[in-house]
Amino acid sequence: MPAYRAPLDDIRFVLHDVLGTEQLRALPGYEEVTPDLVDTVLDGMAQVCEEVLFPLNQVGDQVGSTVADGVVTTPPGFKEAYATFCEAGFPGLSCDPAYGGQGLPLTLRAVLDEMVCSTNLSFGMFPGLTYGAYEALHAYGSDELKDAYLAKLVSGEWAGTMCLTEPHAGTDLGIITTKAVPAGDGAYHVTGSKIFITAGEHDLTPNIVHLVLAKLPDAPPGTKGISLLLVPKYLPTEDGRPGTRNGVTCVGVEHKMGIKASPTCQLQFDNAKGWLVGEPHKGLRAMFIMMNGARLNVGMQGLGLSVTSYQNALQYAKDRLQMRALKGAARPDQPADPIIVHPDVRRGLMTMKSFNEGARALAYHVGMEMDVILHHPDPARRQEAEDLVALLTPVVKAFFTDVGFESANIGLQTYGGHGYIREYGMEQYVRDSRIAQIYEGTNGVQAMDLVGRKLPAEMGRLLRRFFQPTHELIERESQGDLKDLAEALGQGFRRLQQGTQLILAKGMRDPNEAGAAASEYLRIFGLVAVGAMWLRMARVAQDKLAAGAGPKEAFYRSKVVTAKFWMTRILPQAHGLMASIAAGGETIMALEPDAF
Amino acid sequence: MPAYRAPLDDIRFVLHDVLGTEQLRALPGYEEVTPDLVDTVLDGMAQVCEEVLFPLNQVGDQVGSTVADGVVTTPPGFKEAYATFCEAGFPGLSCDPAYGGQGLPLTLRAVLDEMVCSTNLSFGMFPGLTYGAYEALHAYGSDELKDAYLAKLVSGEWAGTMCLTEPHAGTDLGIITTKAVPAGDGAYHVTGSKIFITAGEHDLTPNIVHLVLAKLPDAPPGTKGISLLLVPKYLPTEDGRPGTRNGVTCVGVEHKMGIKASPTCQLQFDNAKGWLVGEPHKGLRAMFIMMNGARLNVGMQGLGLSVTSYQNALQYAKDRLQMRALKGAARPDQPADPIIVHPDVRRGLMTMKSFNEGARALAYHVGMEMDVILHHPDPARRQEAEDLVALLTPVVKAFFTDVGFESANIGLQTYGGHGYIREYGMEQYVRDSRIAQIYEGTNGVQAMDLVGRKLPAEMGRLLRRFFQPTHELIERESQGDLKDLAEALGQGFRRLQQGTQLILAKGMRDPNEAGAAASEYLRIFGLVAVGAMWLRMARVAQDKLAAGAGPKEAFYRSKVVTAKFWMTRILPQAHGLMASIAAGGETIMALEPDAF
């Protein structure tokens, strides 16, 4: 049976020592966010995730959510766990206090996301989608809609969904056919088929609030004619209870590779009553509010599952006795040595560890920038943060989920044959993490977002928000005790700069050249971005060691070693990736479809 | 619903045009292997695999093999398919005619393996293990055992297994505890628990022949004291029918991530009657006969599943309409363009295609060398082939299964959200292919075999069997119309040489340095080995084009483009891998287990 302990030491290291919780507290609105408060909140999250969510993860996979006659039943224990989750106030952790939210930093929400994804990804989908609905409604909803729905979403009493995809329209939302026809009373009648709707129907809450993309009768064609509508499962009564059943039905639940406890629904809307969120035809803007948050959350899924896979692989590597160390028996008292003595096993563990800790630091860094966007008094600083978050969103989504999947596979591999057996739990992490590379925009779409939108945006301003501080960081560390690390990061960074120039130059002439380079470029970006966080973490750790770290010496030494591992054993992938980009798109575009 | 067509054009290109079927025919014993015969055999294989095995692949996954009271039931249709497979003579395709085999080349067996793995991996496990038992028994069995069992295994009337692993002993066979005690009549009583026994119990055949690793009472400790015993499920009667039930019971079938139709059994041996195969305590030698063949076969699993995943991803990419081509609509008559217009989708398809065709060529090349080992009149040529096959076995096993898994994942990704849905079939290929990285020695173990055994063996003689012809190939092509490809291959080859030198030099001082480099080194090896086959294929294709290829022009042009793709977009991974190796093992070995 797998186990999970929230990596609180590592999390606190990033929050308090590397990023600095005092940065949060300095933001207007977060005055009460003391280090003590942060630690208390972390402890509460850890407890619920370890003791309530994680024990349901395997049963959730084995039983799954099922549908019969349009009614979806979640696995045993999910209802009770959801109640506990809501009682703890987690759905509204970072939500607006005006609607009952706790108003805590988004940085802490990122931590919660990590822990939830580590312990029960399927469970996390329910409040995750609800939060997305909250965000869109909070940003674009009319006062009437906000008053009627927001408090219910913040408390978790009602759940939310995002209804985008149709059978013929996934990435390509411009060709959706769901219609919204004015009902005459300010409301609309929504009709159409949606698929892949996460938590589209379930028994955790008495009502579900669907946010649905649809076309109004006078909609211009393509993405410029998409509207966002709020369609509740039950129309609320005057006093806020679920009233009349609305015309939306679950007609099926997909059989999936993983996240089986999360019901992925086919929904049929038949003249369902709905209300516009935001302006007509401008639904994509509101949708992207949800989508950007969701993309960062999906990145956390890659990280979260990698963390659990790592913890269990590590324990297995310490326990499993097999063969002898290459330089002679490490445990001559035993019939064989624990497999953690073997270099190739260690290589796998270090790969996971260096990704987990580096990606976590980057994710929380992004979280903190999101708090800056919300609360910083200086508009220039807010813009800076907004640029950086926009730039890094596709990187976090795609890089974290690609490497998270690889990492979950390393964890499985560490177990040998036992990794392939259901009861050990490791193969579930692989199956569950696989979806994260696909939904909320496939990782290929993320790469196109990065090179096609984010790179050229504002004459490269977004890019400079990352390049400038990274350059300064490398410069700053290029002389002292971390100069080897800075030099290694610098090499990777130069590859990233070369790739950028190449894409901008070639892509200007031929957009297919940018497209052919996009995925490999995004991966270089992720390698360097995580590398930059490692250099910052190594700096903090070295300073702690220099100051005398006492009982935490091994902890900080481990940080420095792991930073070096990332820089010298993982980051060099950038060399090969850059060589591949430099070869251009000719061989990719050459063949006619029938010549494949 | 997924589809599969045996890629006969590609297969014939490799067999007839690149490797040369006449090379086979020149070997004593293969005089009748004309190109026409080869084509007829290929057609027969394709028919059974397409029409009988493939239609059972999804139902096999969904129903699985199940156990009740020690009786294992295979999925519906498997019994009939197995009968058809045996009637076609496939179990004995390359077996000794003295025992009813067809005596056809092992090269053709490699083709059969590919097609079977492409269409129904779980099904393929049954005859696959039977063939392993045949090989060991043919090489090391006494005349009595051979007379009693070989014909039954060759015809497929009885099935075989390899019983190696025990709960505490997987990679580490030296610590097995299964005992074999002399019964006094030349037989032994075998007692112990075995796990992960593929096809350990099932309903396809009336008898099962287990080859079991066990320790005799006077066994020296470790791997020097392991014997191989033949233990039939039913003791054969005088006239060769299954007689008395032997003391071996299936006490469980694993719940696995994939290959669910293949029953992975826990077997309990209780004083089961068995007979020695080969000499006492020298069972590992016979076991490695099975194991080496099995490792190559597992490599084919990675390739085979990648082929099917590719075929379906390609079809989906041609059919699925989503978004517009970056340079303007390719199909303005449709609401969107087929996704094959998008560079990142093409990049995925080309990655799969270039692996499939290159790996196939390498696999058949190895198959042909195995035929040389069996039949060539010149002992020096036989030794050369034996060296090369020994060297390439871990590369084929690990590289093909690692990249095969990556490729199956690209196929899934091409489908977007639909790839994650069971009914589309793509996620099954991912789950099924995942085991191939683990069994018959994990890929980490393969890497250690390569750097620890094969590299230093015979003062580097094995290595020279690959390096010398590769060097000559690059030299030969370095001036003409393929000089760009030769130059690119040369760059990868130099990385491989650097890695070799580094491992030999550093590994001499510290074996952990070799261990820390092993997996990345093996991957470089695979990249270069497949690259060398691509250069050979490009040469043939160019010559065909120069001579006027007529209706096959697009086919040969595609080969040249795909060769260039491999050399310039895939092979450059070697740069990053070599940089990682060069960084050494320090950061991998640094941490104490508790500091992870």
Ranges of each domain in chain B: 8-64+76-140, 159-284, 289-583
Which chain B residue shows the shortest CA-CA distance from A347?
B588
The counts of H helices and E strands in chain A are 19, 11
Q: What is the pLDDT of residue A368?
A: 98
Q: What is the pLDDT of residue B574?
A: 98
If you average pLDDT over residues A60-86, what whole number do you get?
Answer: 98
Burial A366-404 (b: 16+ CB within 10 A, else e): bbbbbbbbbbbeeeeebbbbbbbbbbbbbbbbbbbbbbb
Q: Give the rounded percent of residues in chain A with a pLDDT score beyond 90.
A: 98
Q: What is the pLDDT of residue B77?
A: 98
Residues lower than pLDDT 50 in chain B: none
Task: Report the gap between the CA of A372 and the closest CA in chain B (Å).
Answer: 33
Altogether, the residues listed in chain B come to a count of 596
The residue assigned the tokens 């929400």 is: A109
d(CA B503, CA B510): 10
Q: What is the pLDDT of residue B500?
A: 98
d(CA B159, CA B9): 33
d(CA A335, CA A329): 10
Q: Are B524 and B577 in contact (CB under 8 A)?
A: yes
Query: Of B1, B4, B205, B260, nearest to B85 (Cα)?
Result: B205
Domain A159-284 has CATH 2.40.110.20: yes
Q: Which residues contact B397 (CB under 8 A, 6 or more apart)?
A: B295, B296, B298, B299, B440, B441, B443, B446
Task: Report the gap between the CA of B564 and the closest CA in chain A (Å).
Answer: 7
Q: What is the pLDDT of residue B232?
A: 98
Q: What is the pLDDT of residue B535?
A: 98
Task: Report the gap between the CA of A544 and the closest CA in chain B (Å).
Answer: 17
Burial A256-268 (b: 16+ CB within 10 A, else e): bbbbbbbbbbbbb
Each residue's pLDDT tens digit, A532-581: 999 999 999 999 999 999 999 999 999 999 999 999 999 999 999 999 99
Each residue's pLDDT tens digit, A327-356: 999 999 999 999 999 999 999 999 999 999
Indicate the class that CATH gives domain A289-583: mainly alpha
Altogether, the residues listed in chain A come to a count of 596
Indicate the class that CATH gives domain A8-64+76-140: mainly alpha
Instruction: State ipTM.
Output: 0.98
User: Can you read off the two tokens belonging to residue A17?
Assistant: 């020592």
Q: Are A207 and A158 in contact (CB under 8 A)?
A: yes
Q: Which residues of B touch A584 (CB under 8 A)?
A: 568
Q: What is the pLDDT of residue B288?
A: 86
Q: Are A136 and A286 in contact (CB under 8 A)?
A: yes
Q: What is the pLDDT of residue B485?
A: 98
Task: Report the gap between the CA of A313 and the closest CA in chain B (Å).
Answer: 11
Q: Which residues of A touch B427 (CB under 8 A)?
A: 256-257, 434
Q: Which residues of A touch B416 (CB under 8 A)?
A: 170-171, 438, 442
Which chain A residue shows the shortest CA-CA distance from B323?
A172
The one catalytic residue among A427, A440, A477, A513: A440
Q: Please indicate whether, in this complex, the C-beta atoms of A595 and B416 are within 8 angstroms of each other.
A: no
Q: Please indicate whether, in this complex, the C-beta atoms of A554 and B583 are within 8 angstroms of each other.
A: no
Q: Are B187 and B255 in contact (CB under 8 A)?
A: no
Q: What is the pLDDT of residue B290?
A: 84
Q: Which residues of A touch B327 (CB under 8 A)?
A: 510-512
In the annotation, is A440 catalytic? Answer: yes
Q: Among A175, A258, A350, whose Cβ lies nearest the Cβ of B588?
A: A350
Each residue's pLDDT tens digit, B471-482: 999 999 999 999
Q: Where does residue B5 fall: left (phi above 0), alpha (psi -120 to 50 degrees), or beta otherwise?
A: beta
Q: Are A199 and A114 in contact (CB under 8 A)?
A: no
Determine phi and psi for A268, rounding to 5 degrees: -110, 120
Which chain B residue shows the shortest CA-CA distance from A425?
B257
The one catalytic residue among B166, B440, B477, B520: B440
d(CA A346, CA A339): 9
Q: Please indicate whether, in this complex, the C-beta atoms of A256 and B511 are within 8 angstroms of each other.
A: no
Q: Which residues of B touch A444 (CB under 8 A)?
A: 342, 344-345, 348, 413
Q: What is the pLDDT of residue B268?
A: 98
Q: Please indicate whether, in this complex, the C-beta atoms of B409 and A170 are within 8 angstroms of each other.
A: no
Each residue's pLDDT tens digit, A455-513: 999 999 999 999 999 999 999 999 999 999 999 999 999 999 999 999 999 998 999 99
d(CA A530, CA A571): 9
The residue assigned the tokens 């609607």 is: A99
Average pLDDT, chain A: 97
Each residue's pLDDT tens digit, A153-194: 999 999 999 999 999 999 999 999 999 999 999 999 999 999
Task: Report the gap between the CA of A377 and the closest CA in chain B (Å).
Answer: 40
Q: Where does residue B557 fall: left (phi above 0), alpha (psi -120 to 50 degrees), or beta otherwise?
A: alpha
Q: Which residues of A touch B555 (CB under 8 A)?
A: 595
Q: Which residues of A touch B596 (CB under 8 A)?
A: 314, 340, 349, 353, 558
Q: Among B343, B417, B510, whose Cβ lies nearest the Cβ of A589?
A: B343
The DSSP secondary-structure symbol of B237 reads P
User: Is the pLDDT confidence value at A287 over 90?
Assistant: no
Q: What is the pLDDT of residue B112?
A: 98
Residue pairs spanning A and B at CB distance below 8 A = 265
Q: Please indicate whether, in this complex, the C-beta atoms of B422 and A564 are within 8 angstroms of each other.
A: no
Each residue's pLDDT tens digit, A233-264: 999 999 999 999 999 999 999 999 999 999 99
User: Is the pLDDT confidence value at A143 over 90?
Assistant: yes
Q: Among A321, A420, A593, whose Cβ lies nearest the Cβ of B318?
A: A593
